[in-house]
Amino acid sequence: MSSKKLFLIGLLVSFLVAGFFSFYSSSQPDGLQKATAEQGLDLTVVDSANADSSLANYGVAGIENERLSGFLGGAIGVAVVGIAGTGIYFWVRTPKSGETK
Amino acid sequence: MHMPDGLINAQVSIGAAVIAAGAITVGLKKSKGTLDSQTAPLAGLVAVFIFAFQMMNFPVAAGTSGHLMGGALASILVGPYVAILVMTVVVSLQALVFADGGLSALGLNLLNMGIVSIVVSTILFAGLMKLLPKTRISIIGVSATVAFISVLASAGAFVFEYSLGGNATYNIASVLISVMSVHVLIGIGEAIITGLTIGAILATRADLVYGARKFLPAHNLLIKESVVA
């Protein structure tokens, strides 16, 4: 398989997971939340300064439809991380002149 | 595993941020220009993939869920230094854009889910592969094992940090049992996702997997490289 094809499949899977399948993600507290609540450690927890930002919790504020809100949140997330990931790509790749091929 | 604000005091949070910043600096230095035109795109893709799968919480026990952390997966796929950059991008954007994980706890979260997980995974992967036959099955099995232990290491790091600077009243032994017991289950999920992903890429393009390149030298590209080295 060409790396381009593998790359596109990886991107598609990520997009589907973030945009569509995440709707079926468990909404139960995660392991750390559960354990800290059990031990009474969560009493000191405060909301993050950006807790009511428009993308908090991977949804888009103001969109009533949960499925749509989650889809947009996931899609925006994949796009934002993708842009930052492109930055990693340019950082780690060997400069053209230095390529040994 | 994303720590909210207020759980751990400012001193320990700042200490963790300083360690994380140091590790990121090392990652930036050591990773620059290390991947060729074939493997470099994978670095960005791994960030997107881990971000997406972190959104997918799976149920682990009554009333609890877990999700992929990805530190082991990243370090096996792209090597430890690039993995630091990948996890930094994922965990930072989660906190900054999606308010997942506290802002003052960002250093702690980078340390636990990124650096601790990557360091443990890298050492363990190399150690276990030394002992086992250099086959595809070994690499998949070791990847899953390493992923499982990396989750326990991240959870253990949290307990250690809490013992240094926890804000509430606590009994450290019962915190340890409570945190570790649930993360044993989450670790199994991490092992499954990591093993399947590594297996899928090994089956299609084994040469792209950083952790496998040394052990599967049948590939032409690798023979050339080892001659140069």
Per-residue pLDDT tens listing for chain B (229 residues) = 999 999 999 999 999 999 999 999 999 999 999 999 888 999 999 999 999 999 999 999 889 999 999 999 999 999 999 999 999 999 999 999 999 999 999 999 999 999 999 999 999 999 999 999 999 999 999 999 999 999 999 999 999 999 999 999 999 999 999 999 999 999 999 999 999 999 999 999 999 999 999 887 655 444 444 444 4
- Taking residues A41-54, what's their average pLDDT? 94
**How many Å separate Cα A50 from the centre of its chain?**
17
Bridge partners of residue B5, in order along the sequence:
A46
| Contact call for residues B55 and B67 (beta carbons, < 8 A) | yes
DSSP B35: B
What single string gives the DSSP state of each residue in A24-74?
GS--S-BHHHHHHHHTTGGGG-B--TTTTSTTGGGS-TT---HHHHHHHHH
Examine residue B71 and state whether it is found in any structural domain, yes or no: yes
Q: Is A28 on the interface with B (CB under 8 A)?
A: yes
Query: What's residue B218's pLDDT?
Result: 56
Look up residue B51 and give its amino acid: F
Interfacial B residues in 126-185 facing A (CB < 8 Å): 155, 158, 162, 166-171, 174-175, 178-179, 182-183, 185
b/e B50-84 (16+ beta carbons within 10 angstroms → b): bbbbbbbbbebeeebbbbbbbbbbbbbbbbbbbbb
Q: Is the ipTM of this complex over 0.90?
A: yes
Total number of domains in chain B: 1
Examine residue B105 and state whether it is found in any structural domain, yes or no: yes
Chain segment B41-73, per-residue pLDDT in tens: 999 999 999 999 999 999 998 899 999 999 999
| Contact call for residues B210 and B74 (beta carbons, < 8 A) | no
Look up residue A20 and give its amino acid: F
CATH number for the domain that contains residue B57: 1.10.1760.20
Parse chain A into domains and list their residue ranges: 1-25+52-96
The counts of H helices and E strands in chain B are: 10, 2
Distance from CA of A29 to the nearest CA of B (A): 5
Query: What's residue B62's pLDDT?
Result: 81
Does the beta-carbon distance from A92 to B175 stay under 8 Å?
no
Give me the residue from A29, A43, A82 closest to B65, CB to CB: A29
Examine residue B3 and state whether it is found in any structural domain, yes or no: no
Does the beta-carbon distance from A6 to B201 stay under 8 Å?
yes
Q: Is A18 on the interface with B (CB under 8 A)?
A: yes
Domain span holding position B220? 10-228
Structure tokens at B60: 């682990």
Q: Which residues from B are below 8 Å from A89, CB to CB?
A: 40-41, 43-44
Distance from CA of B124 to the nearest CA of A (A): 24
Nearest CA in chain A to B41: A89
Q: Which residues contact B141 (CB under 8 A, 6 or more apart)?
A: B132, B195
Give me the residue from B45, B97, B171 closest to A55, CB to CB: B97
Does the beta-carbon distance from B89 to A48 stay under 8 Å?
no
Does the beta-carbon distance from B63 to A46 stay under 8 Å?
no
Angstrom distance (rounded) from CA B80 to CA B69 = 15
